[in-house]
Amino acid sequence: MLKRTHFKASPLPYLLVAPQIFITVAFFIWPASQAVYQSMLLEDPFGLKSEFVWFENYQLLFSDEIYFSTFLRTIVFSSLVAFLSLTVALLLAATADHVVRGTRTYRTLLIWPYAVAPVVAGTIWMFIFDPTLGIVSYMLHGIGYEWNHRLNGNQAMALIVLAATWKQISYNFLFFLAGMQAIPKSLIEAAAIDGAGPVRRFWTIIFPLISPTTFFLMVMNIVYAFFDTFGIVHAVTKGGPAKATEILVYKVYNDGFIGLDLGGSAAQSVILMLIVITLTVIQFRYIERRVEY
Amino acid sequence: MARVLIENITKSYGETEVLHGINTDIQEGEFIVIVGPSGCGKSTLLRMIAGLEEISSGTISIDDRVVNNLEPKDRDIAMVFQNYALYPHMTVFKNMAYGLQLRKFSRKDIKKRVDQAAKLLQLEELLDRKPRQLSGGQRQRVAMGRCIVREPKVFLFDEPLSNLDAKLRVQMRLELRKLHRRLKVTSIYVTHDQVEAMTLGDRLVVINAGYAEQIGTPLDLYEKPATLFVAGFLGSPAMNFIKAQISADGKQARLSDSVQIPLHTGSADCGGKEVTLGIRPEHFSLTEQGHSTLPLTVDHAEFHGADTIIYGRLPGNDELLTARLPHIHHISQDKVLHLTAAPEHIHLFDPASGKRI
Amino acid sequence: MIENRPLATWFSHAILILGVAVVAFPIWITFVGASHDAIRMTQVPLPLLPGDQFFINLKAAFVDGVGNAKEQSVGIMMFNSLIMAMMIAVGKIIISLLSAFAIVYFRFPLRMVFFWMIFVTLMLPVEVRILPTFEVVANLGMLNNYWGLTVPLIASATATFMFRQVFLTVPDELLEAARIDGAGPMRFFKDILLPVSRTNIAALFVILFIYGWNQYLWPLLITTDKSMYTIVMGIKQMLEAAEEAPEWHLIMMTTLLAMIPPVLVVIGMQKLFIKGLTETEK
């Protein structure tokens, strides 16, 4: 945690941490505590006066069926994105690790979607699946399947899952590949001498050894699907049709900025913060266990 | 060049005291080696002299100036670290020049001093290289160079040779010795290697578990070890320790019913006592069977060329003794050798306190 | 690979090529879309091969402007994105370096308090505290300028933690040698610590540049003035403005331009990128 020899106490360290602490307080801690405070206020529709109501906003939320279904939807959405992107990435990483030649080339060709902004990814997929013009929807029409994510809620969900998965594959791929390449070659060779074929080697040696990476990625993917996909939803479906793709982070924004239900939105923020903090703690405990600090 | 005075130095981490009152007076130009097993506190002592560790109590003075509260840079010392601590992003030249730059030396002076040191250490060809392009021995020399250019009052060495391979270590040891003879800067050198300590030091400070066991020249320590620890620590193979009882007249030591050896006449006052005898392996010699010889049953022998190390047991004693005998080649197992040791080479220790009698 | 099975090798390559194709397909479509004219982009089926309008569309995006009234220059939006990405990356690196230095190399009262204050922000994305943060920025009068766009995103526990890790791996002896050589804290920071961590700084820069460039929700809220639009949010505004008949050829051109800089950074500095990614996240 600290160097063996450290500099003598002086005002200097305070000056050094000051910028970060100032920004942290002004833009993280203060707003977060404001959110907690606001979540206990009930404003009249004109925003003229507000009343301190303790946990009423939370009670309202928990008894609100719409909020409940949003929660459920977010979990389904996140699980789908995490499962699909992890599976595809694992398959690609395992094959890329297996081939002798071209691993680096494949890596280059597979990692760049990481650099594409979620909203940009959403825009492109929206174009591809545009109900009247889109290339894929045209092809689907050709085989007798009608695609219109503007009307069909399941199709809308499928589209944002697709866009979110597409963007996340490269991230997962990179970590899986790095994890696999860190496994000593001699281990794989020993297994081969023991008579294990490539597929068996993967499941009995490689997969168990990269399980820390898998766990880490699972948490990161859930965080990604919970929060970073805002841009995709906002660009592609706006939570529609009929709230079929409204996930939690979108609802916070929508209720707060569009619906102007400040107390309710703040309460939702607080719940999201608790989720993030929980995930952070899980993640950190796991890091603590692995890395010697 | 300076005199370094260490008075009653202790070091505690919280409740635990790791150094218990060390006193040493290091003379101008002396090369002193602090030696002891790992974890004995020797590095801590050196780092306290350097100003890298705080002093819990006692004083350290350099040239009659108490330096307890001075920053390392103000103590006029230079230090060679075990891992050299060369700045990885700087060339050899810059590594050596950095300390001078910070002390606002002129460009010309810096160049002059660095060139001089580089010449002395045969680093002239390497001045533009980065540390990672150097071999272990070269890095070691750069670390030396960094100290030399500063022309400090005291050199501090923290196990500087322990990262080198055996052959290079011997070579660098020689170079260090030559360098010291030439520069005559007071040097304090920490090592766990007793051979290094014996060959380099004008005087040795043997530290064990936070206590200074003995301070003296290598010869003093070898011939008159003050404690069991010093006796066992210096010399290779290590000294043999045998339990014995002194006869009432103090002239004999009884090892067992059948084995006894004569002692130096000066041991009269411990007549009748239980003692630990210390005999160095090289002080045994082969003799004819006789009244006061040690019959050693050979367990195994290692042939080293010039001499042979013999491991064996005395009757009624299960511990292996070591003897170093010249010019013996073929020794079969279970053969009995009759050994003797000159009385002046037999050391007596009090088994309870470990002190020399 | 250990055994020599040509069939398995071919199969592996087939999977990888398929993967690459799936990953690249949307980009191909974007490129194709950006190379046709407006009329072709309203005819079903849309083309699968590029047309000859690419440079005309490129000129249209930069010179004539995009959006409903053609008022929006892609050049200005890209410039804003660049400024934002640079300010966020450089700002984050500077404040994180300083605070990590203080936390690792100094022992001072409140050190752990500061450490935990930074730590609690570790994974608090701007999305979850959006409204109150917006209010703070509005109250400070930082709407519609670069400060409002960047400063709230600059405090980042991730970067601080990464530098803390890096500093902890710097051997203690280096600091001790520097102290004996006569270097004070800031000297040591500037002469030794920064040069020693330079590849980590570069790696982090790559990650943060992409992070900054791709910001969406925050600029959407902070900027109402069109001259402050960033390209990533500009695309969304173009979609919005033309709900009925989007000009897909221009939207695709803008989309392409929006992703080229970060993609080039990732591919061009792949080694640093991978280093940065694996080090900040772990």
B154-178 residue pLDDT tens: 999 999 888 888 888 888 899 889 9
Is residue A276 within 8 A of residue A223, CB to CB? The reply is yes
Q: Do B87 and C192 touch (CB under 8 A)?
A: yes
Look at residue C92 and tell me whether its pLDDT is greater than 50. Answer: yes
Look at residue C7 and tell me whether its pLDDT is greater than 50. Answer: yes
Q: Do B79 and C180 touch (CB under 8 A)?
A: yes
Q: Do C179 and B71 touch (CB under 8 A)?
A: yes
Burial degree of A240 (CB within 10 A; 0-12, 13-18, 19+): middle
pLDDT-derived band at A2, boundaries 50, 70, 90: low
What distance, in Å, lies between the first and last C-alpha atoms of chain C? 29
Residues of A in contact with C29 (CB under 8 A): 124, 127-128, 135
Residues of B in contact with C183 (CB under 8 A): 73, 98, 102
How close does chain A come to C9, measured CA to CA in Å? 6
Under CATH, which architecture does the A55-290 domain have? Orthogonal Bundle (1.10)
Residue scoring higher pLDDT (A48 or C196): C196
Question: For C57-67, what is each residue's pLDDT tens digit?
Answer: 787 777 776 66
CA distance B171 to B296: 38
Q: Which of A79-83, C99-103, C234-238 has the lowest mean pLDDT?
A: C234-238
Q: From A268, which residue of chain C is nearest by alpha-carbon distance?
A: C128
Is residue C92 within 8 A of residue A27, CB to CB? The reply is no
Peptide bond connecting C45 to the previous residue in cis, omega within 30 degrees of 0: yes
Would you put residue B340 in left (φ > 0), alpha (ψ -120 to 50) or beta? beta
Disruptive mutation site among B79, B132, B158, B162 for chain C (greatest number of C CBs within 10 Å): B79
Q: Do C195 and B99 touch (CB under 8 A)?
A: no
Look at residue B38 and tell me whether its pLDDT is greater than 80. Answer: yes
3-state secondary structure of C113: helix
CA distance C69 to B305: 99
CA distance B99 to C191: 12
- CATH number for the domain whose boundaries are C74-281: 1.10.3720.10
Residue scoring higher pLDDT (B39 or A4): B39
Partner C contacted by B132 (CB < 8 A): no
- Nearest CB partner across the interface for C171, out of B85, B89, B103: B85
pLDDT for C141 equals 83
Which run of H or E residues covers position B279? strand B274-279
- Please list the residues that pair with B347 across neighbouring strands: B278
Prediction ipTM score: 0.85
Secondary structure letter of residue C72 according to DSSP:
B
Domains assigned to chain B: 4-233 (3.40.50.300), 240-349 (2.40.50.140)
Q: Do C155 and A132 touch (CB under 8 A)?
A: no
pLDDT-derived band at B331, boundaries 50, 70, 90: confident
Q: From B80, which residue of chain C is nearest by alpha-carbon distance?
A: C177
Q: Do A135 and C46 touch (CB under 8 A)?
A: yes
- Nearest CB partner across the interface for C174, out of B78, B87, B150: B87
Partner A contacted by C248 (CB < 8 A): yes
> Which residues fall within 8 angstroms of residue B161, CB to CB, at 6 or more apart?
B140, B169, B172, B173, B176, B191, B193, B196
The number of beta carbons lying within 10 Å of the beta carbon of residue A64 is 12
pLDDT-above-70 percentage for chain C = 91
CA distance A53 to B305: 94
Is residue A256 within 8 A of residue C130, CB to CB? The reply is yes
Residues of C in contact with B77 (CB under 8 A): 180
Q: Which of B32-36, B134-138, B315-319 has the lowest mean pLDDT?
A: B315-319
pLDDT for B111 equals 93
3-class SS letters over chain A: CCCCCCECCCCHHHHHHHHHHHHHHHHHHHHHHHHHHHCCEEECCCCCCEEECCCHHHHHHHCCHHHHHHHHHHHHHHHHHHHHHHHHHHHHHHHHHHCCCCHHHHHHHHHHHHHCCHHHHHHHHHHHCCCCCCHHHHHHHHCCCCCCCCCCHHHHHHHHHHHHHHHHHHHHHHHHHHHHHCCCHHHHHHHHHCCCCHHHHHHHHHHHHCHHHHHHHHHHHHHHHHHHCHHHHHHHCCCCCCCCCCCHHHHHHHHHHHCCCHHHHHHHHHHHHHHHHHHHHHHHHHHHHHCCC
CA distance B148 to C178: 15
Peptide bond connecting B262 to the previous residue in cis, omega within 30 degrees of 0: no
pLDDT for C2 equals 58
pLDDT for C4 equals 66
Residue scoring higher pLDDT (B240 or C235): B240
pLDDT-derived band at A291, boundaries 50, 70, 90: very low
Question: For A238-285, what is each residue's pLDDT tens digit?
Answer: 877 878 888 888 888 888 777 777 777 888 888 888 888 888 777 777
What pTM was estimated for this model as a whole?
Answer: 0.83
- Nearest CB partner across the interface for C182, out of B50, B73, B84: B73
pLDDT for A293 equals 30
Partner A contacted by C82 (CB < 8 A): no
CA distance C221 to A257: 9
Look at residue B11 and tell me whether its pLDDT is greater than 80. Answer: yes
Residues of C in contact with A200 (CB under 8 A): none
Partner C contacted by B104 (CB < 8 A): no
Average pLDDT, chain A: 83
User: What is the gyration radius of the CA atoms in chain C, in angstroms?
Assistant: 24
pLDDT for A195 equals 76
pLDDT for A292 equals 33
Is residue B9 within 8 A of residue B22, CB to CB? The reply is yes
pLDDT-derived band at B267, boundaries 50, 70, 90: low
Look at residue A90 and tell me whether its pLDDT is greater than 80. Answer: yes
Give the pairing of strands B65-66 and B57-62: antiparallel
Cα four-point dihedral sign A212, A218, A220, A223: negative
Question: Which residue numbers of C have CB closer than 8 Å to B's CBs?
Answer: 171, 173-174, 176-183, 187, 191-192, 195-196, 198
Q: From A271, which residue of chain C is nearest by alpha-carbon distance?
A: C128
3-state secondary structure of B76: coil
Q: Do B71 and C171 touch (CB under 8 A)?
A: no
Look at residue C244 and tell me whether its pLDDT is greater than 70. Answer: no
Residue scoring higher pLDDT (B74 or C240): B74
pLDDT-derived band at C123, boundaries 50, 70, 90: low
How close does chain B come to C120, measured CA to CA in Å? 31
CA distance B136 to B127: 16
> Which residues fall within 8 angstroms of residue A265, CB to CB, at 6 or more apart?
A252, A253, A255, A256, A259, C131
Q: Do B73 and C171 touch (CB under 8 A)?
A: no
- Nearest CB partner across the interface for B98, out of C171, C173, C181: C181
Is residue B182 within 8 A of residue B29, CB to CB? The reply is no
Q: Do A29 and C117 touch (CB under 8 A)?
A: yes
- Nearest CB partner across the interface for B85, out of C174, C182, C195: C174
Residues of C in contact with B102 (CB under 8 A): 181-183, 187
Residues of B in contact with C174 (CB under 8 A): 85, 87
Look at residue A290 and tell me whether its pLDDT is greater than 60. Answer: no
Residues of C in contact with A272 (CB under 8 A): 127-128
What order of strands is seen across the sheet that includes strand B321-326?
B284-286, B336-341, B294-303, B307-313, B321-326
Question: For B82-116, what is each residue's pLDDT tens digit?
Answer: 888 899 999 999 999 999 999 899 999 999 999 99
Average pLDDT, chain B: 88
Closest CA relative to residue C230, chosen from C153, C129, C120: C153
- Nearest CB partner across the interface for A27, out of C29, C133, C259: C133
pLDDT for A47 equals 62
pLDDT-above-90 percentage for chain B = 41
CA distance C257 to C54: 12
- Nearest CB partner across the interface for B99, out of C176, C181, C195: C181
How close does chain C come to B131, measured CA to CA in Å? 13
- Enumerate neighbours of C (3 or more CB pairs within 8 A): A, B
Half-sphere exposure of A233 (CA within 13 A, CB side): 29
Half-sphere exposure of A36 (CA within 13 A, CB side): 7
Partner A contacted by C282 (CB < 8 A): yes
Give the amino acid at B343: P
CA distance B326 to B322: 13
pLDDT for C108 equals 83
Partner A contacted by C138 (CB < 8 A): no
Q: Which two tokens stand for residue C218?
A: 């925050």
> Which residues fall within 8 angstroms of residue B96, CB to CB, at 6 or more apart?
B114, B117, B118, B142, B145, B146, B149
Q: Do B73 and C176 touch (CB under 8 A)?
A: no
Average pLDDT, chain C: 83
pLDDT for B266 equals 61
